[in-house]
Structure 1
């Protein structure tokens, strides 16, 4: 036995090295070669079985892992976590009763506290699983035979007319040692809209795809000109940015530009599954960066006025769980679709949909036929009734690995719903709100067309007559004599009312009147002429930062309108800090903030020769010897001062 052990010690070390480097398929071959020689002692054989099982699991092949977990267990090798992972595999096979027994065993005997908590959750979820197994009779799905192969096809997204971009591992030019299959690349599928599964596939673009890297999960801007996707080396290269990262490219009409690494990617984390919101203001993506709720969480980045992405925030515990949340997608009506193995589900990844109702986020499993005991993920919509998603379900029509399925929703429309917009015009001043009457209002669609005009009545009330579409954004422009012309965006995407919410209403056609409030800013001109200086209270900055936040941009947009209304005025934008920090630091920080505010106005058409940026640091506080946070906030302010002179441009912004 000793001879056999020493003769295989080097291959064992090689297998361990391959495993630790993420070369799971290579490690599986190494370990299987050791087993075939038949000279492994049982104490080493059970470790090899376990390593093979883990290699399959970590390369997302849990079903292939199951027999090796079983063999390791039969030989008495049961390291912590095996029982849990084996139970998850049973759940994906639809063997729910057996899975519950093993989850319960792990709750009693397991050592990993997080896995114990997940096991308790899984037991609870499996008890309710029958509610998800009744198929929706109005959803029809179709495995796309002309698109799918024995390899993995996944993450579809519609681009332009009758074109679908998806990810696939069908290329055999190089073998990826993590799975033994090809590298993942992006492909273009062109189809007949009358028959979605009659089409042809082609390599997307050699500028985007690279032979020895993975490309996957494309998302496009609404005009189709911007592409964001995930690229990964999976540890095959020693680079600063490891694992999976986000890249962006632009379309010039004939080809894509060289992809650029996005700043929101973190060198230390896995960042993938990007999804742009329909209005292009938000980018949803998945990451395992620190501060999350589980394995992979969904995050959202916001685009600023320069087109830069930032202000990253986790989507919170209503969306993210102790498990993995992946493949987000935002529909035109504002619903967030994603896949999860941490919310109640039928097996592996299940498709979920989240929407806001009465100010709360409600997450719902999409049930069958969208979901199965396998992995179901990456849903996308062509329109309200048609779309595609990915599944590795084991059915007669399945081609092999992950397949793309097209679906059609034939749910009958029980009650047509019409949406209208109404509201009230007010003025907020010194924390008081007063009604404004006789305000002229315009409703403008996304094409820039004025689709309605009205005037608020004696109570400040108004209502537009055209029916609104759910999904597009509208602009409200309000005007009243001696007040600054104001404009605001009205978002309809999160205002959809579901059929189940109106089924008990008596009318055959349901009218929903959406409410909004229009706040007009006090007359800048009169106050500036009389006082010489105005303080803008709503321009705030993040700590130790000078970028223009979204809420600050709204206030500066009003200033842009004011400057365009009064082209003769020249102003100084002054930035003030509180006194917490060194004098030099506060001076430099305030100057950067003032520069950012001026630059914002210049980019929106205000001549730089009418503007001066000046940082005052902490030298002119409103409240001396500030003590409370509220008092410090009063000192952190932006001021507008009227200045004289023919040319105020100082190039300092």
Structure 2
């Protein structure tokens, strides 16, 4: 075959696959789904002008709000969310509108909107904390006008994301970015941008260079920590193993001369858990990091591992003064002070930066919000202090932090701050006979139920939660148990003992039992805040007898029925529910879509249902309480003509479900 023939075939091959796989963006919704948000804005604006019905206008307006949100144009997003809600899009638009107002620091309007949202879904409870946070943020914002911090954007920001600065050699800093110089040419599906890498920056000149080999790879690298002499580094790398889901691991490398060794995974990391944001204590003996470990208190929590002669010991979560049911991330240690970000402690917007002090007995004091201008309505995180800075004149401290606030160049940008010496506080009168400080820890517990879009359909959207009155809660501490009934707000209150572990077991007729826990261990006393308050929430699911409930995130490989690792968390949760409700019997069912022969689909679905049952048995559920049933394609969730079913409809029909039969 001559060169000309090869050339013609190559051209035909290229044209064929270009036509096959390159699909032209035809409308705003497609552009949005492809994460081409700027393109979506242009197309959706044109489509909105042509829309005739209010329903159609509402759908387009909501997508416009979402598109503007993704390109960091929050003011435009606010306007379109409001338009979507006014055009009958529903509570999703009102919810996004409320949070966008809060992010824009329009706290008065946000409070009114959150109040309306609670009434709309039938539960003022759901957004009460957001309303309180807006009230507090208003005061903090006013205080920020006379604050002792001065901030400015770092010289090395780009239109891409830069975040999580860390001190490095020669007064340089290392940060994470998905800028175009990052290794590899693939796009990260979670963000629609490049994979992230580590970079070195000179804060004075603004010069940036990639971190030396072999640290950066075509995978996601980020959030690094170094020991004091910069001979050890710890960072996160996110990748898949053997084609599975992406998870982030903590890696370690050592410097030998001018080179860094090939990174290795820290031994304590476990499968199906994301680890990140490492930080080292000053002496290098304690490694702090964030993880979504189920042994934490919920969401991402901050853990600590201690260095031993054999490596790092088993991590343990920090106390409930630090960790909440939300997300705690990006720790940074400066002597006895822990700085970190949280979206659950009372704050001004999304993630806020907080600090806590470690006491002599190793416990942590109640957290303090750094307030404005460090914190804002946007995400603020990745705080670091320049340990090499020497105070001079009226400047006490220098450092950097990350923010997504609107005046930046990209989605996340790094800001430099200097902290001035504060003016002396006004003199306080000295009491002749001061009263002794009385310390208390108060816990409010709430028992809640889900609010479904359609009350009789557990597969419909969950709009929020509301108090479940008349629920009973067994409280166990130090081997002693007592039972309480919640009040008209679904609440019970107790004063906590010091250094004690509490367990809560909630029950209500017609609902699945559920449990929670709390520990007062590691909580230090703070004379400035002698009375500290905490919360736990216990959600009880209503029992819908003989009604099929779809389990999310359970997928199977083609023609296979083994339980994949990404399905295990959902089945683990179901197993835990069954173990707490020992009289319940269920049927596990599997369904296929309409494609393929009926006999083949029925056998495959039966094997998949049985595999789910077998997995639950390995988790301690008695097999007499479980029944496996394969339905094949005989009972579709969406009844569509097979040749005309969309892929989304096929996906809805391929499902694993359970139903309570006794």
TM range (shorter): 0.5 to 0.7
Question: Displacement, 1:327?
Answer: 0.9
Contact 2:37–2:70 (CA<8 Å) still a contact in 1? Answer: no
Tell me if 1:315 matches 2:323: no
Match of 2:158 among 137, 142, 149: 149
Question: Displacement, 1:40?
Answer: 8.4
Tell me if 1:409 matches 2:413: no
In structure 1, the partner of 2:291 is 287
In structure 2, the partner of 1:381 is 385
In structure 1, the partner of 2:35 is 25
Tell me if 1:88 matches 2:96: no
Match of 1:352 among 351, 354, 361: 354
Match of 2:119 among 93, 97, 108: 108
Query: What is the 5 A alignment of 1:211-290?
Result: 211=218, 213-233=219-239, 239-240=243-244, 242-290=246-294
| Cα displacement string for residues 235-293 of structure 1 (whole angstroms, at most 9, x for unaligned residues) | 8x864462433222221121222222233334323322221222222222222232444
Please identify, of 148-157 and 342-351, the stretch whose mean Cα deviation from structure 2 is larger: 342-351
Question: Displacement, 1:311?
Answer: 2.2
Tell me if 1:169 matches 2:178: yes
Mapped to 2, the partners of 1:221 and 1:66 lie a distance apart of 44
Contact 1:242–1:267 (CA<8 Å) still a contact in 2? Answer: no
Contact 2:82–2:94 (CA<8 Å) still a contact in 1? Answer: no
In structure 2, the partner of 1:185 is 197
In structure 1, the partner of 2:329 is 326
Three-state SS of the structure 2 residue aligned to 1:321 is coil
Question: Displacement, 1:140?
Answer: 2.3
Contact 1:139–1:411 (CA<8 Å) still a contact in 2? Answer: no
Question: Displacement, 1:353?
Answer: 0.8
Match of 2:208 among 187, 196, 201: 201
Mapped to 2, the partners of 1:166 and 1:409 lie a distance apart of 22
Three-state SS of the structure 2 residue aligned to 1:361 is coil
| Cα displacement string for residues 335-384 of structure 1 (whole angstroms, at most 9, x for unaligned residues) | 11011222222222211111246966121111222122222111111127
Contact 1:296–1:323 (CA<8 Å) still a contact in 2? Answer: yes
Three-state SS of the structure 2 residue aligned to 1:186 is strand
Contact 2:162–2:176 (CA<8 Å) still a contact in 1? Answer: yes
Mapped to 2, the partners of 1:118 and 1:282 lie a distance apart of 38
Tell me if 1:76 matches 2:78: no
Mapped to 2, the partners of 1:185 and 1:61 lie a distance apart of 26
Question: Displacement, 1:25?
Answer: 1.6
In structure 2, the partner of 1:125 is 133
Contact 2:103–2:377 (CA<8 Å) still a contact in 1? Answer: yes
Mapped to 2, the partners of 1:318 and 1:198 lie a distance apart of 40
Match of 2:305 among 291, 301, 307: 301
Question: Displacement, 1:32?
Answer: 7.8
Three-state SS of the structure 1 residue aligned to 2:260 is coil
Contact 1:327–1:377 (CA<8 Å) still a contact in 2? Answer: yes
Question: Displacement, 1:399?
Answer: 2.7
Mapped to 2, the partners of 1:41 and 1:269 lie a distance apart of 48
Mapped to 2, the partners of 1:301 and 1:61 lie a distance apart of 40
Mapped to 1, the partners of 2:95 and 2:526 lie a distance apart of 38
Mapped to 1, the partners of 2:379 and 2:371 lie a distance apart of 13
Distance 1:63 1:31, change over 3 A: closer
Mapped to 2, the partners of 1:36 and 1:408 lie a distance apart of 46
Distance 1:26 1:405, change over 3 A: closer
Question: Displacement, 1:167?
Answer: 1.0
Contact 1:24–1:59 (CA<8 Å) still a contact in 2? Answer: no
| Cα displacement string for residues 493-544 of structure 1 (whole angstroms, at most 9, x for unaligned residues) | x9x999999xxxxxxxxxxxxxxxxxxxxxxxxxxxxxxxxxxxxxxxxxxx
Query: What is the 5 A alignment of 1:252-651?
Result: 252-307=256-311, 309-332=312-335, 334-356=336-358, 361-383=365-387, 385-395=397-407, 398-411=408-421
Contact 2:324–2:344 (CA<8 Å) still a contact in 1? Answer: yes
Mapped to 1, the partners of 2:197 and 2:527 lie a distance apart of 40
Contact 2:280–2:287 (CA<8 Å) still a contact in 1? Answer: yes
Contact 1:84–1:119 (CA<8 Å) still a contact in 2? Answer: no
Contact 1:283–1:300 (CA<8 Å) still a contact in 2? Answer: yes
Structure 2: stretches of 5+ with no match in the other structure: 1-22, 390-396, 426-521, 530-662
Question: Displacement, 1:137?
Answer: 4.0
Contact 2:356–2:364 (CA<8 Å) still a contact in 1? Answer: no
Question: Displacement, 1:188?
Answer: 0.6
Mapped to 2, the partners of 1:293 and 1:15 lie a distance apart of 40
| Cα displacement string for residues 581-610 of structure 1 (whole angstroms, at most 9, x for unaligned residues) | xxxxxxxxxxxxxxxxxxxxxxxxxxxxxx
Query: What is the 5 A alignment of 1:55-74?
Result: 66=78, 69-74=81-86
Please identify, of 277-286 and 372-381, the stretch whose mean Cα deviation from structure 2 is larger: 277-286
Q: TM-score, with normalisation over the residues of structure 1?
A: 0.52
Tell me if 1:160 matches 2:156: no
Three-state SS of the structure 1 residue aligned to 2:235 is strand
Three-state SS of the structure 2 residue aligned to 1:373 is coil
Three-state SS of the structure 2 residue aligned to 1:197 is coil
Mapped to 2, the partners of 1:117 and 1:17 lie a distance apart of 37
Contact 1:241–1:266 (CA<8 Å) still a contact in 2? Answer: no
Question: Displacement, 1:122?
Answer: 1.5
Distance 1:303 1:356, change over 3 A: closer
Contact 2:350–2:378 (CA<8 Å) still a contact in 1? Answer: yes
In structure 2, the partner of 1:99 is 110
Q: TM-score, with normalisation over the residues of structure 2?
A: 0.51
| Cα displacement string for residues 155-206 of structure 1 (whole angstroms, at most 9, x for unaligned residues) | 100012212101112116444444343322110113xxxxx43341101124
Structure 1: stretches of 5+ with no match in the other structure: 1-9, 191-195, 416-493, 502-653
Mapped to 1, the partners of 2:328 and 2:261 lie a distance apart of 31
Question: Displacement, 1:60?
Answer: 8.8
Three-state SS of the structure 2 residue aligned to 1:404 is strand
Distance 1:128 1:270, change over 3 A: same
Mapped to 2, the partners of 1:263 and 1:18 lie a distance apart of 43
Mapped to 1, the partners of 2:280 and 2:383 lie a distance apart of 14
Mapped to 2, the partners of 1:283 and 1:127 lie a distance apart of 36
Mapped to 2, the partners of 1:26 and 1:392 lie a distance apart of 20
| Cα displacement string for residues 50-102 of structure 1 (whole angstroms, at most 9, x for unaligned residues) | 567668768998777545544543332225x5533432221010111121122
